Structure 1
């Protein structure tokens, strides 16, 4: 199969098309869906950066909770937070993200990608204000839940929005920019957390941490006024002429009109084929039950079902490897290890994550999605097993003490060398995660055909947040019950299993158009 980087463009006519001929190009004509191999234009980069504000908010709101948990003190319900309080405050974000993801996929299909981005921005603003004004634990849980709904919508729709706009040869890089925005948001969260924890008012500093999340959301609401809808959604709702105009802007080069029309016609052809598959898969479902017909097509068409299995597998692996437990509880872990400024130590981890996500930006389209996972996951395993070994050298609290919970006691007297080993191993784990598993699962939308792309992406994003919820709720109890060494070793074993899963069922998709990618799964897993 040819990719957009090596296939010639097919020219049909040299003259300009009028409106009627553009929207009624014969189906029998040999049209090309190839895109030019040049770099994305300035307009495409600006769109990616504007959409990436959602990723920044995603990262900020998941990262800021780490510093917040160690800064709240007795500000909520006039008492110190216990392990259950911290787990619920953290995991409720993932729970509501889980609920919001499939709902937002339905909204994105009916109203477009842009309105869902706007909805997530409004929820980000409201959730930030509720958190900053909370004086009870339940108020903080409510605010984190609202932010969770915003994160669930944004984490689903932003990669989808970018993927449907991006030229195939650069789609991986542009979607990775959203992941880079997420990691940048985490870095900003840790910097602000460190500033307020070390130099701010202990009683109000954490309120500023969570409240500042409203500002980028308000800024993106303004940018949305100038951002177009995606051409594939426009084609889906019968607005092919609008789709041509958007594609013309995003290509960013002087191309003949026939090229733009051929790309749109390729999308239309793929949509007609998928509608035929949907009719075969409906099995008597009433025509008015569009939601049920979508589920039938997603689950009963073999290539769609394979795409869903791959996307859910990658999203689940991204969370069950334990990464976000570090994002949520890194300050708690480093406090336990005896670091004097745990929020500053957490910042080094977040900075590592950001730096290697930038590196992934240049590698993901060159090396490929499949290979970059197969190369990076073994280093994640090494980092997790080294962490497990390092924790065996740390003198943990006596389990017979009246309050044996790890997170409820003073920092233990631990070997400084052991703490350094754990920090280095965590940074190895985070860097390899950032290069591969932190980015590739969010390219899920390229696996699905247009007719089920929104629904499939929403379901797989829900899988991500289900796993995130489980990790956020169980990490501290597992640390208390099984010891940190066993907990990190368990995450390492999950990564080993995940590597074999990637090797077995995940095909290479780099450089292919969205329409070509779906063909890989037509008669199997597409793994050579």
Structure 2
């Protein structure tokens, strides 16, 4: 085995795990650049707008299944094995998609790829956090989400390049096959990387866990920094054993203790709800259709502009890397909602008026919208939910992911017929929900940046600027299946 350690080992982990995480964005974006290409539509039988929405949305059903598999078996497999298995499943799904000769085969490939993707997106963030000592949880999560969006950028520009330079089936088959490159990169590199010290320690392999910590820190096993983390893992395991009793329905939803579990879970679900009903997945899945049908661009120009719009989305993911832990979760969300509301309103007005000038206004507003979402609602809900969830309710996050997947499925399926039948009116729905998100965040979302564990939800906490020391491995290394 190649004996990497310290910073070089952390870089290798970031490349290998990041390649698997990038697939989440790539798979969501790759069909977005092809759904208006005649050759692709002909190969799958020129489906109706509703059927096309179903084909695209079924990927998320696969993701749900992958999350469930990870929830039940991920902790038994270990972080590395779960990621390798997820990537292997994605290679099978990608191969089936690339060799498609009908809608049924494409659907099967999308579902299989979704299963692998669900396993990866459930495991990769845990693996990264459990092999790092970041004291900046917000920054770490923001970087991961930036990698996801970069995958979407790669997918759209590859689609555009193939449409411009090639003819025939290779135009759409190659982008569908190219996803296997990222999966194979992870499969090849993951075996030389260490298993999660937290997972090893929790499975009775303490010596291996300490050895891997020594590699990750590039320090001897008796160094105080290594021993401090070992003590933190012991404490985390003790907390888990003390909270091992399975929560009941009454304990989750009807308890009236100071912990306020019902309120915490409601906040988690509502954050994900508002995230999806900003309308982001309309743009992520169908931006070429939006540009062609609503903005009035040609098919070729739509493909080109779609690539630049995804780049603007990616650029929007950079500010949270530096600002989320400084400004706090509330300010980032409220600033994002305000900018999103302005942008979506201008976009809706622009495509409703439908003049040359208003179409340009709509296009500019769409770019502002993408940047605004990337710097706010793209990252914060994924970070906030585990921050306020007590340890003994972490498994409920699987249900939260299932809710999220269903929301994406509904939006992805309804968008093509909604655009075809209602035109600009569908975007009023998103304007309303974006507007509602502002008072929701202001009145109901406490600030939690820097909290050691899940924070109190009293009225004074949101305004507090005092940071509690963040023993990151005590938090990040806890069991998350």
The bucket for the TM-score relative to the shorter chain is 0.7 to 0.9
Once the two structures are overlaid, the 10-residue window that deviates more, 127-136 or 474-483, is 474-483
Taking the aligned partners of 1:471 and 1:245, their CA distance within structure 2 comes to 47
Question: Which of 258, 271, 282 is equivalent to 1:314?
Answer: 271
CA shift for structure 1 position 526: 5.2
Question: How far 1:326 sits from its partner (Å)?
Answer: 0.5
Q: In the TM superposition, what is the alpha-carbon distance from 1:391 to its structure 2 partner?
A: 1.7
Q: In the TM superposition, what is the alpha-carbon distance from 1:81 to its structure 2 partner?
A: 3.0
Q: Deviations over 1:275-305 (max 9, x none)?
A: 32343x557xxxxxxxxxxx89866775665
* 1:74, distance to aligned residue in structure 2 (A): 6.3
Number of residue-to-residue matches in the alignment:
451
What is the distance in 2 between the residues matched to 1:172 and 1:462?
23
Contact 1:51 1:158 in 2 (8 A): yes
Structure 2 CA distance for partners of 1:108 and 1:74, relative to 1, 3 Å: closer
Give the C-alpha shift of residue 446 in structure 1.
4.0
Q: Give the match for residue 311 of structure 2.
A: 351
Among 435, 452, 468, the alignment partner of 2:375 is 435
SS state of the match for residue 159, structure 1? Answer: helix
Do residues 64 (structure 1) and 8 (structure 2) align? no
Residue of structure 2 equivalent to 1:417? 357
Mapping of residues 153-302 of structure 1, within 5 Å: 153-251=119-217, 257-279=223-245, 302=259
**Given the alignment of the two structures, is residue 376 of structure 1 paired with residue 336 of structure 2, yes or no?**
yes
Residues 226 and 504 of structure 1: CA distance in aligned 2, closer, same or farther (over 3 Å): farther
**Alignment check: 8 A CA contact 2:210 2:221 kept:** no
- Deviation sequence 1:459-483 (CA, Å, 0-9, x none): 2222221111011011222223443
2:449 alignment counterpart: 510
d(CA) in 1 for partners of 2:334, 2:351? 27
1:527 is aligned, of 439, 462, 477, to 462
* Corresponding residue to 2:302 among 333, 342, 346: 342
Normalised TM-score (structure 1): 0.78
CA separation in 2, counterparts of 1:134 and 1:57? 20
Instruction: Note closer, same or farther for the CA distance 1:505–1:152 as it changes in structure 2 (3 Å cut).
Output: farther
Q: CA RMSD in A?
A: 2.8
Q: State how far apart, in whole Å, the 2-side matches of 1:103 and 1:78 are.
A: 30
Q: Is the 8 A contact 1:131 1:140 kept in 2?
A: yes
Q: Deviations over 1:365-410 (max 9, x none)?
A: 222333211221211111111111112112xxxxxxxxxxxxxxxx
Between 1:461-470 and 1:442-451, the stretch displaced more is: 442-451
- Whether 1:479 and 2:479 are equivalent positions in the alignment is no
Task: Assess if the C-alpha contact under 8 Å between 1:373 and 1:436 holds in 2.
Answer: yes
Q: CA deviation at 1:96?
A: 1.8
Higher-Rg structure is 1
Name the structure 1 match of 2:348.
388
Distance apart, 1:42 and its partner CA: 4.5
**Distance in 2 of aligned mates of 1:238 and 1:502:** 42
- Of residues 82, 86, 96 in structure 2, which corresponds to 1:120? 86
Name which of structure 1's ranges 141-150 and 313-322 shifts more when overlaid on structure 2. 313-322
Q: 1:297 to 1:56 in 2, by over 3 A?
A: farther
* 1:376 and 1:432 in contact (8 A); partners too: yes
Q: Quick check: 1:91 aligned with 2:57?
A: yes
Question: Is the aligned partner of 1:495 residue 2:434?
Answer: yes
Q: Judge conservation of contact 1:44–1:252 (CA < 8 Å) in 2.
A: no
1:329 paired to 2:286: yes
Deviation for aligned residue 1:71: 2.0
What is residue 456 of structure 1 aligned with on the other side? 396
Cα distance change of structure 1 residues 74 and 247 upon mapping to structure 2, 3 Å threshold: closer
Q: 1:255 to 1:491 in 2, by over 3 A?
A: farther
What is the DSSP-based 3-state SS (H/G/I as helix, E as strand, rest coil) of the residue aligned with 1:517?
coil
**Shift in alpha-carbon separation, 1:442–1:53, aligned structure 2, 3 A:** farther
Return closer, same or farther for 1:207/1:282 CA change in 2, 3 Å cut-off.
closer
- Please list every run of 5 or more consecutive structure 2 residues that lacks an aligned counterpart in the other structure: 1-5, 464-481
| Aligned counterparts of 2:373 and 2:307: Cα–Cα separation in 1 | 16
1:166–1:374: structure 2 CA closer, same or farther, 3 Å change rule?
farther
Deviates more, 1:142-151 or 1:184-193: 142-151
Q: 1:184: Cα distance to partner?
A: 1.0
Q: TM-score with structure 2 length normalisation?
A: 0.85
1:285-339 deviation per Cα after TM superposition (whole angstroms, max 9, x unaligned): xxxxxxxxxx898667756655443333323322221101111110111122332
Distance change >3 Å, CA 152–CA 498, structure 1 → 2: farther
CA distance in 1: counterparts of 2:187 and 2:428, whole angstroms: 43
